[in-house]
A and B are shown apart, each in its own frame.
Chain A
Amino acid sequence: MSDPAPFEPACPFPIENYPQVLLAHGGGGRLMHQLIQRMIVPAFKNPWLEQQHDASIFELGGQRLAFTTDSYVVRPMFFPGGDLGSLAVHGTVNDLAMAGARPLYLSAGLIIEEGVAMESLWRILASMQRAATAAGVQIITGDTKVVDRGKGDGIFINTAGIGVVEQTVSIAPASIKPGDAVLVSGDLGRHGMAIMAVREGLEFESSIESDSAPLAGPVRALLDAGVEVHCLRDITRGGLTSVLNELAEASGFPIHVEEARMPVREDVRVACEILGFDPLQVACEGRMVGFVPEPEVERALKIWSGIEVTAGAVRIGEVGQGGAPRVILKSTIGAQRILDMGSGEQLPRIC
């Protein structure tokens, strides 16, 4: 590497001694976290980025807006319960919703590998349109690039989204308070295992379907009912574990959760057991955690239980006070341990 000295802020290489980017740097675990903290945030340093929220909130003409972007790639492109197109809409809609915004407009950037079947492309586009309609957003601008065969993995999609923030309270990690209850909106790990089961050729009595879904509706329902919501975050790569660790760190408080309360579907647990994965580290695409004060728990759960995508919502723990900002899990046999963020991708184990 050439001398990094002239770059300001100082080039933070080496990231834990890896001179090249690894797949694990995108795996949603600690390596990705470090990449963002040590390279990306310092490179673009500004107060909006430092909110470290799923979407940035800013004012324009007296109106508070939320803005976010995400890129999507998944193999296989079509999987039980969804496809790349619906994923690309849901993910960005959800990032806006997590900031308490009403999602309005999306952009779509497509990077298509030469040789992709026209029919597949059409199915993806049609799926994006259906997902956008269902989530109440419109895709109003876009871009298309085609790359040489072998230089892309089918189709990559980037979507950016804009939404409007109507409530005045700040729904963000900084609003998390000791004593807040931690809710999850439904069963965990289904998206990741739906993909893994297809990739590994695992067959169950019925296929595991991805949980991919838009979450703006259930968020809106809480806010419209006047529920005091302190923080929301959708669960994606790295699973519940990564989300809770990020929020413990960002809020400065420990988070206590119970293994026995974790909603994980039986078939997902079995698939995880066979493949050697921890369901709490497996990706979701239609689930979120919510932090609400104790008196609001019952009302929040009641509202969510009446909406299909959040019908399985439960309380999994609460925010503690004092001690290191870590996630502490009470195991099924009653002992306590750290629930630590994974390093990178979960690697299937030997035996």
Chain B
Amino acid sequence: MKFIDEYRDAAKARQAGQELARHVTRPWTIMEVCGGQTHAIVKFGIDELLPPQLTLIHGPGCPVCVTPLELIDKALELAARPEVIFCSFGDMLRVPGSHRDLLSVKAAGGDVRVLYSPLDALKIAAQNPAREAVFFAVGFETTAPTMAMAVCQAARLGLKNFSLLVSHVLVPPAMEALLSAPGCQVQAFLAAGHVCAVMGYEEYLPIAAKYHVPIVVTGFEPLDILQGLLMCVRQLESGRAEVENQYSRAVRREGNLPAQQTLREVFRVVPRKWRGVGEIPRSGLGLAEAFRAFDAELKFGLAANSVSEPAECQSGLVLQGRIKPAQCPAFGTRCTPEHPLGATMVSSEGACAAYYRYRREPAATQSS
């Protein structure tokens, strides 16, 4: 497959691993922010090609994982209402709320639909004027522009039965929160390439300078990740802390300006609670005043609820890179993809799911 296979070349990947080994002179700890990168690392076994001095820790960049439990419960409440057609990306269906998940609500008669784009939810709203189409708007800066576009179109079409349950989060504030936490071990970041394709990377310049940490905008294929790591290591070894762009085939410095413009029109920056991490100021997007009519929380009068996570779930520590999934006592025993305690075990970008799927009993995988 063109533009994919070139970046999965086995010989080049091994060369890149050797190149890294040549440049590394002491231990370094690098965090890949995005869950998509975490899965690529574990799925392809990229970490097995790295020199032992290099430690990767997995970041909070899984939109499904950081969506707060309260909001999942609100989604479940909405999806169970007879008048609601609850639309969502597929990932969210198995994420556990306090008592159940969207798949269970669907089995109990809720109208839950898996869509690829919120624009499809507009069609559903137009075709079902007597019902309410609600889209579960989760994700980082990557998915936010399509949500914004859907809201603009709904406004233009005068659709009154379309709304968003918004849980959008922003990456740079989370990176700052991690860096300013006591005991932070992260010495460099692979920044999430697709987030930067939308937002550009200028907003990372002050972070790199303030915390003296290299940030390399990186893609998602094995060679992208290896090259991103090499760029981080070169900076670390030479004492530099700059923002560099490995993913230049998709990311420009200024990003996608029309997408950013639409985001600014439709959303405003709000404080947001991250599941497992806590509230981070100015780290989320909420609908702007002019588009309040499309806010499902207001429209359906969903009361603020207060819930607590299963005490045993350590996904917060996993999301902050403080422990690896297998270090959680519940991993693979009381917490599995079929019976998850936290979202990190369910989502296609969750670190626990990646380790469960590809790495149980790593010793057994070494033999051949």
The chain A residues found within 8 Å of chain B, CB to CB, are 16-24, 30-31, 34, 200, 254, 256, 260, 266, 269-270, 273, 275-276, 320, 322-324, 326, 328, 330-338, 340, 343-344, 346-351
Chain B residues whose C-beta falls within 8 Å of the C-beta of A349 in the assembled complex: 89-91, 347-349
B21 an interface residue at 8 Å Cβ cutoff? Answer: no
Chain B residues whose C-beta falls within 8 Å of the C-beta of A20 in the assembled complex: 104, 107-108
In the assembled complex, the Cα of A31 lies from the Cα of B107 at a distance in Å of: 14
Knowing A324-B361, A347-B114 touch, does A266 contact B1 (C-beta < 8 A)? yes
Q: Is the Cβ of A348 less than 8 Å from the Cβ of B338?
A: no
Q: Is the Cβ of A338 less than 8 Å from the Cβ of B359?
A: yes
Q: Which A residue's beta carbon lies closest to that of B8? A: A332
In the assembled complex, the Cα of A19 lies from the Cα of B339 at a distance in Å of: 13
In the assembled complex, the Cα of A33 lies from the Cα of B277 at a distance in Å of: 35
**Chain B 17-56, CB within 8 Å of chain A: the 1/0 string?**
0000000000000000000100000111110110000000
- Shortest C-beta distance, B347 to chain A (Å), equals 8
In the assembled complex, the Cα of A126 lies from the Cα of B365 at a distance in Å of: 49
Q: Which B residue's beta carbon lies closest to that of A348? A: B90
- Shortest C-beta distance, B333 to chain A (Å), equals 13
**Chain B 98-110, CB within 8 Å of chain A: the 1/0 string?**
0000011011100
Q: Is the Cβ of B4 less than 8 Å from the Cβ of A332?
A: no
Interface of B is mostly: helix
Q: Known contacts A275-B116, A350-B139; can you find 9 more A-B pairs with CB under 8 A? A: A19-B104, A20-B108, A22-B104, A323-B367, A333-B10, A334-B14, A338-B358, A340-B356, A346-B90
In the assembled complex, the Cα of A344 lies from the Cα of B48 at a distance in Å of: 29
The chain B residues found within 8 Å of chain A, CB to CB, are 1, 4, 8-10, 13-14, 36, 42-46, 48-49, 63-64, 89-91, 93-94, 103-104, 106-108, 114, 116, 138-140, 142-143, 194, 222, 337-339, 347-349, 356-361, 364-368
Q: Is the Cβ of B13 less than 8 Å from the Cβ of A333?
A: yes
Q: Is the Cβ of B337 less than 8 Å from the Cβ of A270?
A: no
Q: Which B residue's beta carbon lies closest to that of A267? A: B1
Q: Is the Cβ of B358 less than 8 Å from the Cβ of A348?
A: no
In the assembled complex, the Cα of A201 lies from the Cα of B64 at a distance in Å of: 26
Q: Is the Cβ of A326 less than 8 Å from the Cβ of B103?
A: no
Residue from B108, B338, B361, B368 in contact with A31 in the complex, judged by beta carbons closer than 8 Å: B338
Q: Is the Cβ of A328 less than 8 Å from the Cβ of B106?
A: no
Residue from B36, B44, B91, B140 in contact with A332 in the complex, judged by beta carbons closer than 8 Å: B44
In the assembled complex, the Cα of A69 lies from the Cα of B118 at a distance in Å of: 40
In the assembled complex, the Cα of A161 lies from the Cα of B13 at a distance in Å of: 50
Residue from A16, A19, A266, A351 in contact with B36 in the complex, judged by beta carbons closer than 8 Å: A351
Residue from B13, B116, B356, B368 in contact with A200 in the complex, judged by beta carbons closer than 8 Å: B116
Chain A residues whose C-beta falls within 8 Å of the C-beta of B89 in the assembled complex: 348-350
Residue from B222, B339, B367 in contact with A16 in the complex, judged by beta carbons closer than 8 Å: B339
Q: Is the Cβ of B114 less than 8 Å from the Cβ of A23?
A: no
Of the listed residues B44, B94, B338, the one surrounded by the most CB atoms of chain A closer than 10 A to its CB is B338
Name 16 interchain pairs, CB-CB below 8 A, sorted by A.
A17-B339, A200-B116, A254-B364, A330-B368, A333-B10, A333-B46, A335-B45, A336-B366, A338-B365, A340-B360, A344-B94, A348-B114, A349-B349, A350-B63, A350-B91, A350-B143
In the assembled complex, the Cα of A337 lies from the Cα of B138 at a distance in Å of: 30
In the assembled complex, the Cα of A326 lies from the Cα of B8 at a distance in Å of: 25
In the assembled complex, the Cα of A30 lies from the Cα of B43 at a distance in Å of: 19
Q: Is the Cβ of B138 less than 8 Å from the Cβ of A331?
A: no
In the assembled complex, the Cα of A256 lies from the Cα of B4 at a distance in Å of: 25
Knowing A336-B365, A338-B360, A348-B116 touch, does A331 contact B14 (C-beta < 8 A)? no
Knowing A331-B45, A335-B45, A348-B114 touch, does A16 contact B142 (C-beta < 8 A)? no
In the assembled complex, the Cα of A30 lies from the Cα of B353 at a distance in Å of: 14
In the assembled complex, the Cα of A334 lies from the Cα of B46 at a distance in Å of: 9
In the assembled complex, the Cα of A346 lies from the Cα of B90 at a distance in Å of: 8
Q: Is the Cβ of B1 less than 8 Å from the Cβ of A334?
A: no
4 smallest A-B Cβ distances: which pairs? A335-B45, A347-B90, A348-B90, A337-B358
In the assembled complex, the Cα of A330 lies from the Cα of B348 at a distance in Å of: 20
Q: Which B residue's beta carbon lies closest to that of A266? A: B1
- Shortest C-beta distance, B114 to chain A (Å), equals 6
Chain A residues whose C-beta falls within 8 Å of the C-beta of B356 in the assembled complex: 340
In the assembled complex, the Cα of A350 lies from the Cα of B141 at a distance in Å of: 12
Q: Which A residue's beta carbon lies closest to that of B356? A: A340
Chain A residues whose C-beta falls within 8 Å of the C-beta of B93 in the assembled complex: 347
Residue from B106, B108, B357, B364 in contact with A340 in the complex, judged by beta carbons closer than 8 Å: B357
Q: Which B residue's beta carbon lies closest to that of A18? A: B104
Of the listed residues A200, A320, A328, the one surrounded by the most CB atoms of chain B closer than 10 A to its CB is A328
Chain A residues whose C-beta falls within 8 Å of the C-beta of B348 in the assembled complex: 276, 347, 349-350
Chain B residues whose C-beta falls within 8 Å of the C-beta of A270 in the assembled complex: 1
In the assembled complex, the Cα of A270 lies from the Cα of B5 at a distance in Å of: 11
Of the listed residues B46, B89, B194, the one surrounded by the most CB atoms of chain A closer than 10 A to its CB is B89
Knowing A334-B13, A336-B365, A337-B365 touch, does A22 contact B48 (C-beta < 8 A)? no
